[in-house]
Amino acid sequence: MTEKQTTTSAAFLATLKRDLLIAFKKKNDIVNPFMFFIIVVSLFPIGISPESDRLTEIAAGVIWISVLLASMLSMDSLYRSDFEDGSLEQLLLSPHPLFFLVLAKNISHWLVSGLPVVLVSPLLAYMLALPSEAYGTLVLSLLLGTPIMSLIGSIAVALTVGLGSRGLILAVITLPMSVPILIFGTLAVQSTLNSQSPLGYLSLMLVMLSVSVSLAPLASGAALKISVN
């Protein structure tokens, strides 16, 4: 019997792999938020106006808000089944720093729920008549913004994982927290449209991303310990 303890990076990779595997086996968790995003975005032209001028004006905001809602809805699956089947307890009792294990879960969750939304956003931007020069900024800002939302959402999900019905409480907790990302994300796109450089906003989002990567998993881990208690 080899009794060698795994390194933290091996545990990190094993967790990442396992979560991706579960996601691909439970396709609903990937497909539903994605479909939700596309449907919500396509409701806006019907509700507001089909004129491309007016759509151009709201396009960035609509896409950002829909991404926000979709990411919030998808968060629920992050710890739920693990909590219910006891895998979460195994995760908490690992000798490795919880920070990295939680981070692995967050990353795999973003890969299956955040990334597809980012990738499809240019298509929806086209449908909302966003000028093509802003596509790059939109995708970049979403690429920086969606992980932040996943990381913040992870804290809220971890806090509410023990609750029976938590869809709405999750929204009440996370949505106000995503205001800064919404502001910078839409401002970046807007400034490209006004032919200014969006670099300032994007680098600010990069700062926010690195701060949340280094702090949010700590908070999520603490929250999980509280919830499992």
Partner 1 sequence: MSSAAPQTFSNSQADKTMLAVRDLFCERDDRVLFKNLDFDLPEGQVLQVQGSNGSGQTTLMRILCGLNDSYEGSIKWYGQEIEEQAASFFSSLLYIGHRVGVSKVLSPVENLRWSCSLKQAVSDEQIMAALKEVGLRGFEESPCYTLSAGQQQRASLARLIISPASLWVLDEPFTTLDSKGVAMLEKILQRQAQTGGSVMVTTHHSLSIAELTLLSLG
Partner 2 sequence: MWVWFSKLGSPKWFYELSGKWLPWLITAMVIFMTIGLVWGLLFLPPDYQQGFTSRILIVHVAVAGTSLAFFPLMFVAGTITLVWRMKLADMVAKNAAILGAWFSFITLATGSLWGSVMWGTWWEWTDSRLVSMLFQLFLLLGVISLRSALEDSDTAAKACALLSIVGCINVVIIKYSVEWWNTLHQVSSPVNMDASSPNGPEFWIATLIMIVAVYLFLSVSLILSTRNEILERERKSQWVQDLVLKS
Binding site for partner 1 (CB under 8 A): 1-6, 10-11, 14-15, 17-18, 21-22, 25-26, 81-82, 84-87, 89-96, 101, 228-229
Least distance in angstroms from the C-beta of 104 to partner 1: 11
Which tokens sit at 218? 């700590």
Q: Which does 6 bind (CB under 5 to 8 A by kind): partner 1, partner 2, none?
A: partner 1
Binding site for partner 2 (CB under 8 A): 155-156, 159-160, 162-163, 166, 169, 172-173, 175-177, 179-180, 183-184, 187, 208, 219, 222-223, 226-227, 229
Nearer to partner 2, 115 or 204 (CB): 204
Which tokens sit at 16? 């990442």
Q: How far apart are the C-alpha atoms of 112 and 13, rounded to whole Å?
A: 16
Angle at 113 between CA 108 and CA 117, to 5 degrees: 135
Specify whether the CB–CB gap between 15 and 105 falls below 8 A: yes
Specify whether the CB–CB gap between 152 and 75 falls below 8 A: no
> 45: helix, coil or strand?
helix
Least distance in angstroms from the C-beta of 144 to partner 1: 30
Nearer to partner 2, 63 or 223 (CB): 223
